[in-house]
Structure formats: structure tokens, C-alpha cells
Structure 1
Amino acid sequence: MKNHAVVTGDIIGFTKLSPQKRKALITHTENLLKSWIANAADAEIFRGDSYQMIFADLRYALTRSIQLVCWFKTYVADQDKTRMDTRISIGVGTISYQGKNVLNSDGEAFHLSGRRFDKMQEGEYLAISTGHEETDTTLEIMLNFINAYMASWTKGQAEVIYLILEGKTQQEISAALSLSQPSVNSRLKLAGWKEFEPAIRYIASLLEKKNGN
């Protein structure tokens, strides 16, 4: 049976917003999540500040999860610039049952995602569980490095990395953000992209190798 990635996350700073701002954030988040999914029912918001998605492509799930971290870092919810962040747990495994939406579905990937999410600690932006002890140990070591980088990203750096992960060139990012190309390059350097990007590629290849994709 083909493995899938189940992404479970929540929004940090959500309760600091006014009801109106919370509603706007949920609407924007839901629109973003569903734009990434072929079947809209495979991405849902629940309990106000939590979300869950199913991805058939493991590499794509990893990329989108990092983009979500960037997206929340760049989201300015109100005039006092309340800081938004997110925690994300990816469970990689089989799905035994798909209900009317992701929240009514079940399987190994859901269990791994949920259990790992419940164990996430402060400072963890991204966690991954495959159910394979050796693989998960390697992933934890790599993600300690990844999370340290993401914790340091500024709003401007997150904006650029989000677009890099969209496949945009530095020239295209320069035009989209009204920045000079050297400014885009500087943000990438300060964010540690040269070191970060190979680590992400390695994690993606490890997931695909260990899980038969």
C-alpha cells in the first residue's frame, strides 16, 4: 500500500488576536491549504487554530510544510504586528480509511503525525515520524539543525524562502517583492539557505527511500 504524508499543525499566537483577526487568519489559511490540494476535503481547519492535510507526494509535503512556516512568519495580523508561528508534525505511512474529509480519515500516517505532534517541544517548528526507529533518529538529528535555522528567520527572509520553494528565480523574487537582486541574495545568505537547502533535499530523499516512493 502506498505511503502518504499526513501533516498536522497549529497556529502559535492565534489566541492573542481579536475575534475579527482570528476569523481573517483562518480564512486566509484555509484558502492557502486548499490551493495546494487536488481534493479540497484533504485539507481542513479544526478547533479554530489547528489544521490537517493529506499529501500523496512526500517531497511535496515537506516543501509545503516549510512554506507554511514561512507563511505564518510573514503574516501580519494587526497593527501591533502580533507574531504568528506554527508547529507542524508530518506522519509518513499508510492510510487505511478516507472519510468525507481528512478529519474523518484514519491510518498509520495519522497516528504517527498526531503522536509526534503531541510530543513537540518549544522551538520545534517541524517534526517527522515514519515509524522506523533508525530513520526517525536520523530525521531528528537533521531537524534539530533545520529548526534552529527556521527559528532565526526574519519576516523578510521567510518571504524570500517561501518564493524560492515555489520555484521562483531570484530575478522573479526581486520583481515580486520590489527588491534588488542583491537584496534577495543577501536575505538568502543570512537565512542560511546554502546550508538549509541540501539538508531538505537529503531529508526528502531519505523519506522516499525508506518508504518506498
Structure 2
Amino acid sequence: MLIIAHYKLIALYCMSTVVSNAQYAVLTGDIVNSSKLNVAERETLLRSLTSLFDKDQEGSENDLKLKVTFEIYRGDSFQSLLDIPQQALRIALIIRTYLQSQVSIDDRLIASDARIAIGIGSVDSVTATLAESNGEAFRFSGRLLDTLKKEPNQIAIKSQQPTLDDEVNTALVLLEGIIGKWTALQAEVVYYKLQNHTEVRIAELLKVKQPAINQRAKAASWVAVERLLARYQELVTP
């Protein structure tokens, strides 16, 4: 798994106020349809989602090394702090594809997804919990999430650059049309591709043949997803 979780990052931030002009990404999200899960399913899902971020995976086979602080709050909501804003969209998609590809103990598909608001900006301070932290990126993300229920896309971005926001959010509306057609198996392949696994490695992990992985990736329009990630990274890079 790609993500290096650093809960120690919170402790380091708590030592002092962030006063630099560095840009951060804050992801604030709600799990969609969580009320349709029973208590055991909800707890299992939240626990597995948190586990994406709480293990040191430096020995993993992928080349993404990200510092991500992740926190569940209010039962079915979450917040994440990322010091590399260029990877925020990738992290948001990893969360969504992970949720979309999960299966419950009795093999009933859990119709879970996430609504995620990405705020990019400065951070004034980080406290013991992200929910109580402050800064431009936190404000952008929190306010944006409140408006997402009325929007066709389930991922959106807010930064200091309206032109950037308009381009990315327009693309995200189009992306939603692609995501809405994914099966759980296709979402699973995209989940691993987002972590830079090769199709051969994904086939080994899922115990299927490589052509099946390639077919699922094509059906999921992976090339379009990859292009959008590259364009987003280009736009957000100073």
C-alpha cells in the first residue's frame, strides 16, 4: 500500500504555529450511504479506511511516498492533511475507490462512496485533532463540503486561484460521469493503479490473469483518470 501515515506529524505541528507560506491540502469528507450499513459493517469500513493511513509502508512496491495525516470524526466523516497539494486528488480518488471496492463479510456489496472537498492554502496551526485546527486550507475545505451535496460531482477543489478551481471542478464533473459507471471490480483495479502498481502486480494481488486487469482498467477509462491527475498536478505545482 502506498501511503506512509504520520500521526507524529500532528505532534510536530502542535509544537508551534505554522508561519511559513507553504501550501497544504486539506481533504474533508463524508462517507455516502453509511446509514444503510449495519453497525458491524460501518465499524469495519471505518476501521479499514483508517488502516490505509496508519501503517508505515516504506517497503511497499510503489514509488509514491506521501505524508498523510488522517482522522475520523462525527462517526462517518473524515479529514486529512497533506503537505503535498499536488497529490490531493490522487488521495481523494484512493479513498473513493477503496470504499467502492469493499465487500462485507457476507459478500454483500457495500454501496459506499465518499463526498470529498479539497482545500488548498496556508495552515495557521494544527492542534491535537484536525477538526480543531485552523488555516485557509481548513476553511476552504470545510465550507466547500457544505455545498457538495447540491453538486453533480463528489470531489471538488477550492484554492486562492478561481481559474484553477474552475478548470479542475469542470473536469471533476466529467470525471463523475466515468466514476458513476464503475463496478466494484473496476474500482478495485483503479485503486491499485492509483498506487502505481503494474498490471502484472495487480493480477498477482487479485489472483486473476493480467489481461483481465487490463480489460477492467480500460472499462474504467483509466487513461482519462491518469490524464486528469497529470493535469491537476501541473496546475497545482507553483
Matched, 1:59 2:92: no
Q: 1:89 maps to what in 2?
A: 117
Alignment check: 8 A CA contact 2:102 2:110 kept: no
CA distance in structure 1 between the aligned counterparts of 2:220 and 2:227, rounded to whole angstroms: 14
Q: 1:33 maps to what in 2?
A: 53
Give 1 or 2: higher helix fraction.
1
Q: 2:217 maps to what in 1?
A: 188
Q: 1:103 maps to what in 2?
A: 131
CA distance in structure 1 between the aligned counterparts of 2:234 and 2:187, rounded to whole angstroms: 24
Number of aligned positions between the proteins: 207
Q: 2:103 maps to what in 1?
A: 76
Which residue, out of 15, 27, 34, partners 1:7? 27
Q: What are the within-5 Å matches in structure 2 for residues 13-28 of structure 1?
A: 13-28=33-48
- Give 1:26's aligned amino acid: L
CA distance in structure 2 between the aligned counterparts of 1:63 and 1:29, rounded to whole angstroms: 15
Q: 2:232 maps to what in 1?
A: 203
Give 1:35 deviation, angstroms. 3.8
Matched, 1:151 2:183: no
Q: 2:74 maps to what in 1?
A: 47
Unmatched segments (≥5 aa) in structure 2: 1-20, 57-65
CA distance in structure 2 between the aligned counterparts of 1:49 and 1:128, rounded to whole angstroms: 21
Q: Deviations over 1:81-112 (max 9, x none)?
A: 23111111110000011111212210000111
Q: Deviations over 1:26-65 (max 9, x none)?
A: 21122223348757xx321011000001000112222111
CA distance in structure 1 between the aligned counterparts of 2:183 and 2:109, rounded to whole angstroms: 13
- Give 2:194's aligned amino acid: L
Give 1:122 deviation, angstroms. 5.5
Give 1:148 deviation, angstroms. 1.5
CA distance in structure 2 between the aligned counterparts of 1:13 and 1:5, rounded to whole angstroms: 25
Deviates further, 13-22 or 63-72: 13-22
CA RMSD between the two structures:
1.7
Unmatched segments (≥5 aa) in structure 1: none
Deviates further, 69-78 or 163-172: 69-78
Q: 2:141 maps to what in 1?
A: 113
Distance 1:78 1:12, change over 3 A: farther
Deviates further, 19-28 or 49-58: 19-28
TM-score normalised by length of structure 1: 0.91
Distance 1:167 1:82, change over 3 A: closer
Q: Secondary structure at the match of 2:115?
A: strand
TM-score normalised by length of structure 2: 0.82
CA distance in structure 1 between the aligned counterparts of 2:88 and 2:33, rounded to whole angstroms: 24
State the identity %. 29
Q: Secondary structure at the match of 1:99?
A: coil
CA distance in structure 1 between the aligned counterparts of 2:189 and 2:26, rounded to whole angstroms: 26
CA distance in structure 2 between the aligned counterparts of 1:185 and 1:53, rounded to whole angstroms: 31
CA distance in structure 1 between the aligned counterparts of 2:203 and 2:120, rounded to whole angstroms: 35
